[in-house]
């Protein structure tokens, strides 16, 4: 009797030490970090599935956490490869800390500012703490993991642990509960490159700093099971192989993590090392080709792997009973008014199981607020049920931006300075000032009210600009434009629209004149990346009924289509309607790069039409963007009031293009209908327009 009691006691102790399993079976996988080299993890998973080797649990760091977390959530290897192949990883990684919204009437900036500084209430610098925010990646991961909603990662189809590093203490942090997407995002926060991730009150960065191949952690958490480590860490490069900023970063990470990797791998029962050590850190790559490297490496060691799995304990999974209904909701980082509205909105969720779609919709809505950087959630298991924690990371109260533009194709060039103050008069409002230091100076002052729940903010803006235009075949004109605008914008999923009352004062052109009228703007955007799309469309328009007599406006379309692995077909077109005999409100062809060769001396009329199409070849894409070559052809025409053609032009050209994630630069050469060859450059993105709208 005593012997049986002793056996029962030992079994009980074993279940407490390893609560998710009775015995287990198969192997515990350790997936290392390694950037896009981590796509080789997919091939290893394929090989294990083919040989029917059970995966007891997964412990992952950085890219290993991404691959492991998605696999643990229920994707098989084939589905995981399809999902990863369909998304553009560099595009998801490359969302820099977002700039303040552009003033009404000024188009959204298509590039990031040269410099951006955040200050707290005491004027102390508070960021940015990394070049990339990683919020787009979080949103994508949230969608991919929406199939599961658990508080404890032991309850996933395969138990999972993500490893991160506490930036304050330097300790390894094991992420086993909360929000799977947030845990993955925290684990891959490469310091200096990504913003650290605030997760459950700790500031976390990439787990590779302390455990890039976390074998010791796997052994401690899942004792008695064989541990198979998949190592995709970079091999050290020689001087000839360090030729770019990314390669310097990769070599630095390799040096920092080498000791903990070597020490950890020595403790594994088996190490699989795919031949990917020389691949780049964060660049677009052929998912299938890298996955095949992992599959080949696993196949070479399959005999030893099968022997390990055969010696493992039996694989009986114990599911602990857990409450699945919400018993409380906690809010973190919410300002008082928004907190009250959110509590009222979510009160009916208490006593019900959490609905992932509703949680994602709420976080998406909160994340689109001007005063919010990140909206996230997590579930916590408590004795009486689940607790839902909604958390906000708000923008800092002060924000400074510096930017500039230069080109030999347009008259405008200068430096741009911006300042933004949040929570000025009420919670969630903002005041933004922008100054353009240029021979053709400009500036704006914009106040935006708080965005209430179900309500949309009011925008009030003042804008001033000195303008000059020298059309083909006409005398040049110069004037000063002052605009006052008040209205509302209604954001949505991909589509937004707005209305306003717009007034303009023109000083120059033979006298002072005033104009008033209602304005309408709209946009629809389905691009996968607003700065460097690989596919998708965007339609934008702005109309102004000036003095209830003239309808002025501009409508543009841009489309991008994949034509090959690194080849894209792009097209853009537009229509502009103005007042032909008024230089301040005429329609111009060339004023906004509709035709590069007509930039300094555009065609003018009452209406304008244009179109451009071309092919863009990308020479490697990574977190900062890519180097592209373009071949394009463009056409345009201007018209009188009866839409009879006044003049038309065409051009063909070649360009070298670096998109706006780093510098937004273009070198080009064109040949046009006047048999003229134009060599040009642009650097930066101008926040001005030559056209009928102020």
Check if the beta carbon of residue 351 is closer than 8 Å to that of residue 326: yes
The answer to whether residue 581 is catalytic is: no
Partners of 317 in the β-ladder? 21
The answer to whether residue 62 is catalytic is: yes
Considering 88, 206, 371, 459, which one is annotated as catalytic?
206
Please calculate the CA angle 160-356-218 and round it to the nearest 5 degrees: 5
Partners of 554 in the β-ladder? 542, 576
Check if the beta carbon of residue 188 is closer than 8 Å to that of residue 63: yes
Q: Which residues contact 577 (CB under 8 A, 6 or more apart)?
A: 551, 552, 553, 554, 587, 606, 607, 692
Please calculate the CA angle 663-286-157 and round it to the nearest 5 degrees: 110
Query: Is the CA virtual torsion 436, 437, 438, 439 positive or negative?
Result: positive
| E strand map for 94-226 | 115-119, 125-127, 130-132, 160-166, 172-175, 192-194, 197-199, 202-206
How far, in Å, CA of 684 to CA of 678, rounded? 19
Considering 32, 62, 391, 477, which one is annotated as catalytic?
62
The phi, psi pair for 549, rounded to 5°, reads -125, -45
Burial of residue 500, with CB atoms counted within 10 A of its CB: 0-12 exposed, 13-18 middle, 19 or more buried: buried
**Angular region, 518: left φ>0, alpha ψ -120 to 50, beta rest:** beta
| Residue 183 structure tokens | 């845990």
At 365, which helix (H) or strand (E)? helix 356-367
Q: How far is CA 524 from the centre of its chain?
A: 18
In a 13 Å sphere around the CA of 297, the CA atoms on its Cβ side amount to 25
Please calculate the CA angle 562-563-569 and round it to the nearest 5 degrees: 75
**Which residues participate in catalysis according to the annotation?**
62, 206
């Amino acid at each position: 009797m005593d012997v049986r009691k002793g056996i029962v006691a030992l079994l009980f102790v074993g279940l407490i030490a390893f609560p998710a399993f009775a015995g287990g079976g198969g192997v515990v996988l350790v997936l290392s970090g390694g950037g896009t080299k981590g796509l080789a993890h997919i091939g290893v998973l394929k090989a294990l599935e083919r040989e029917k080797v059970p995966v007891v649990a997964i412990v992952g760091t950085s890219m290993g956490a991404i691959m492991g977390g998605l696999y643990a959530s229920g994707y098989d290897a084939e589905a995981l490869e399809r999902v990863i192949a369909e998304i553009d990883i560099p595009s998801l990684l490359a969302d820099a800390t977002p700039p303040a919204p552009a003033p009404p009437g000024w188009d959204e900036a298509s590039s990031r500012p040269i410099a951006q500084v955040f200050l707290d209430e005491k004027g102390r610098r508070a960021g940015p703490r990394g070049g990339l925010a990683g919020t787009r990646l979080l949103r994508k991961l949230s969608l991919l993991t929406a199939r599961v909603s658990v508080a404890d990662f032991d309850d996933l189809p395969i138990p999972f642990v993500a490893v991160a590093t506490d930036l304050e203490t330097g300790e390894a942090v094991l992420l086993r509960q909360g929000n799977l997407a947030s845990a993955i995002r925290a684990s891959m926060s490469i310091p200096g490159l990504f913003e650290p991730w605030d997760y459950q009150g700790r500031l976390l960065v990439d787990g590779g700093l302390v455990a890039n191949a976390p074998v010791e952690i796997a052994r401690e958490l899942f004792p008695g099971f064989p541990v198979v480590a998949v190592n995709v860490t970079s091999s050290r490069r020689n001087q000839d192989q360090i030729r770019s900023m990314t390669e310097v970063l990769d070599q630095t990470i390799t040096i920092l993590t080498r000791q903990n990797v070597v020490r950890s791998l020595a403790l594994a029962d088996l190490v699989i090392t795919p031949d990917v050590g020389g691949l780049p850190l964060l660049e677009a790559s052929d998912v299938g080709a890298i996955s095949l490297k992992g599959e080949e490496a696993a196949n070479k060691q399959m005999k030893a792997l099968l022997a390990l799995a055969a010696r493992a304990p039996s694989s009986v999974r114990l599911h602990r009973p857990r409450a699945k209904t919400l018993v409380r909701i906690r809010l973190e980082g919410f300002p008082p008014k928004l907190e009250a509205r959110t509590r009222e909105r979510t009160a009916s969720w208490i006593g019900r199981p959490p609905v992932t779609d509703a949680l994602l919709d709420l976080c998406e809505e909160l994340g689109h607020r001007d005063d919010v950087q990140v909206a996230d959630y997590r579930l916590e298991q408590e004795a009486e049920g689940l607790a839902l924690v909604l958390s906000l990371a708000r923008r800092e109260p002060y924000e400074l931006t510096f930017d500039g533009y230069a080109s030999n194709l347009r008259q405008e060039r200068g430096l741009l300075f911006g300042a933004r103050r949040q929570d000025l008069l009420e919670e969630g409002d903002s005041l933004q000032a922008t100054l353009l230091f240029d021979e053709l100076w400009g500036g704006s002052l914009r106040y935006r009210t708080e965005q209430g729940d179900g309500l949309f903010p009011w925008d009030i803006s003042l804008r001033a600009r000195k303008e000059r235009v020298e059309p083909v075949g006409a005398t040049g004109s110069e004037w000063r434009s002052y605009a006052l605008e008040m209205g509302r914008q209604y954001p949505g999923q991909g589509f937004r629209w707005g209305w306003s009352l717009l007034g303009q004062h023109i000083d120059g052109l033979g006298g002072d004149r005033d104009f008033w009228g209602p304005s309408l703007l709209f946009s629809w955007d389905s691009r996968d990346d607003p700065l460097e799309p690989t596919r998708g469309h965007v339609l934008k328009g702005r109309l102004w009924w000036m003095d209830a007599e003239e309808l002025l406006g501009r409508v543009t379309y841009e489309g991008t289509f994949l034509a090959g692995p690194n080849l894209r077909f792009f097209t853009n077109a537009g229509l502009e309607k103005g007042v032909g005999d008024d230089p301040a409100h005429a329609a111009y062809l060339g004023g906004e790069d509709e035709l590069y060769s007509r930039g300094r001396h555009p065609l003018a009329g009452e209406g304008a039409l244009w179109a451009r199409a071309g092919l863009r070849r990308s020479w490697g894409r990574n977190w900062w963007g890519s180097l592209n070559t373009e071949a394009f052809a463009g056409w345009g025409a201007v018209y009188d009031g009866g839409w009879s053609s006044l003049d038309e032009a065409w051009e063909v050209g070649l360009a070298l293009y670096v998109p706006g994630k780093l510098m937004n630069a273009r070198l080009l050469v064109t040949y046009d209908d006047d048999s003229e060859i134009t060599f040009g450059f642009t650097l930066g993105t101008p926040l001005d327009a030559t056209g009928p709208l102020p």
